[in-house]
Amino acid sequence: MAADLVVAGAKTAAGVLSGSAAMAAEAAHSWADTGNQLFLMIANRRSGRAADRQRPLGYGREAYVWSLLAAVGLFVVGGTVSVWRGISELFAERAADENYLVAYAVLAIALVMESISWAQALRQLRAGAQSMDREVLEYAMQTSDPTVRAVFAEDSAALLGIVLAFAGIGMHQLTGVAAWDAVGSILVGVLLGVVAVLLIDRNRRFLTGEPGTPQLRDAVVARIETLPEVASVRFIRLEFIGPRQLFVVASVDLVGEEVESRVAHTLRELERTLEANPHIVDVVLTIAEPSELDDAIRR
């Protein structure tokens, strides 16, 4: 957040001195990123609170609420302002007195700083992707941690935005046509809008009940069926209730024919065993009815 704040201030000053619409768009982008880092910090802190009587499943979903607000801010502040500024510049008469040197210097510094941040986000994503045997981009889209996804997406957009701003300012300098600068601003805004809509959709999915991938469902089924008391799993439902936090409901066949008074105790012991996994917040197990089909697990 501190780095984004410094870059935003530098871009704002450069935008005023150079008169570049693309630089102004990049300044709006960096101010949006600065505010987003604050939202993501709040998301991490509030979602990490322990469960209590009011929230027996914990506060994990707060991460998606605050990340959603960050994505909306990126769309409104970054995307909308950049597009509006670019369209305004297209129809404005302006003398060709742009200070290209200032613009290039600030963009070069921003490129270095954003590259360092992007590399750190990429390393974190790559480690998670390797642990899940996934491709990096696939993991970035599917991970239940919205802050990791947001940082990587925003840093990627920042790098592409800097390239677009460089191109717009460079074409303005080469051709003397100010429209290139305005087009650069519009393209930065469109880029931010696309990234924001993508992040909004992912947070929406997790807020409304993301069940996870078929591979994750199969892994949880396999884990339950390794328990010696379980003969098979007839039905299972997963739901993410926070970053790397699952709520599991399943119906199982138990080994043997235990009396009714013992069944409830056995199920509770199995639930506690599964809840020992740090990524499983709560488990509810029931006995499968004889009429339940074996393929119900595929639902």
Quote the domain boundaries for residue 276. Answer: 214-298
Report residue 113 as tokens. Answer: 């700083």
Cα–Cα distances in Å, from 48 out to 34, 40, 154? 22, 12, 23
Task: Produce one character per residue of 36-52: b if its CB has 16 or more CB atoms within 10 Å, e if not.
Answer: bbebbebbbeebeeeee
- Phi and psi at 257, nearest 5°, equal -125, 80
Same domain, 97 and 155: yes
Which one of 207, 235, 261 terminates a domain?
Answer: 207
Q: How would DSSP label each residue in 218-256?
A: HHHHHHHHTSTTEEEEEEEEEEEEETTEEEEEEEEEESS
Element (H, E) at 63: helix 62-73
Model pTM above 0.85: no
Provide the token pair at 1: 């957040």
**241 plus 197 within the same structural domain:** no
What H or E segment, with its residue span, contains residue 286? strand 280-287
Q: Is the pLDDT of residue 4 over 90?
A: no
> Could you read off the pLDDT of 85-113 as tens digits, one per residue?
788 877 766 555 567 788 888 888 888 88
Cα 199 to Cα 146: distance, rounded to the nearest angstrom = 8
* Exposure string over 132-142, b if 16+ CB within 10 A, otherwise e: bebeeeebbeb
Same domain (yes/no): 69, 118? yes
| Cα gap 226→198, rounded to integer Å | 38
Looking at the fold, whether 198 and 219 belong to one and the same domain comes out as no
Of 150, 174, 207, the one marking the end of a domain is 207
Top pLDDT among 114 and 197 is at 197
Same domain for 242 and 196, yes or no, is: no
Are residues 33 and 82 located together in one domain of the fold? yes
Give the tens place of pLDDT for each residue, 255-269. 877 665 678 888 889
What phi, psi does 230 have (nearest 5°)? -100, 125
Query: What average pLDDT score do residues 11-30 get?
Result: 79
Smallest CA-to-CA distance from 64 within 154, 157, 148 is with: 148
Same domain, 147 and 196: yes
Q: Which of 178, 207, 236 is the last residue of a domain?
A: 207
pLDDT of residue 287: 83
d(CA 21, CA 169): 9
- Whether the pLDDT of residue 53 is over 70: the answer is yes
Instruction: Indicate whether 7 and 146 sit together in one domain.
Output: yes
Strand partners, 283: 248
Among 43-52, 265-274, 283-292, the range with the most confident prediction by mean pLDDT is 265-274
142 and 253 in a common domain = no
Count structural domains, the chain. Answer: 2
The verdict on 119 and 156 lying in the same domain is: yes
Give the pLDDT of residue 290: 60
CATH label of the domain that carries residue 250: 3.30.70.1350
Q: Are residue 147 and residue 176 in the same domain, yes or no?
A: yes
State whether 197 and 237 are in the same domain: no
| Predicted local distance difference test score (pLDDT) of residue 259 | 60
Distance CA 190, CA 193 (A): 5
- pLDDT value of position 98: 62
Q: How confident is the model at residue 76 (pLDDT cuts 50, 70, 90)?
A: confident
- The percentage of residues in the chain with a pLDDT greater than 90, rounded to a whole number, is 16
- The stretches of 132-178 forming alpha helices (DSSP H) are 136-142, 146-175
Q: The domain that contains 6 carries what CATH number? A: 1.20.1510
pLDDT band at 237 (very low <50, low <70, confident <90, very high): very high
* Helices 2-18/100-131 angle, 10° precision: 150
Cα separation, 83 vs 21, whole angstroms? 10
Give the mean pLDDT of 162-184: 85
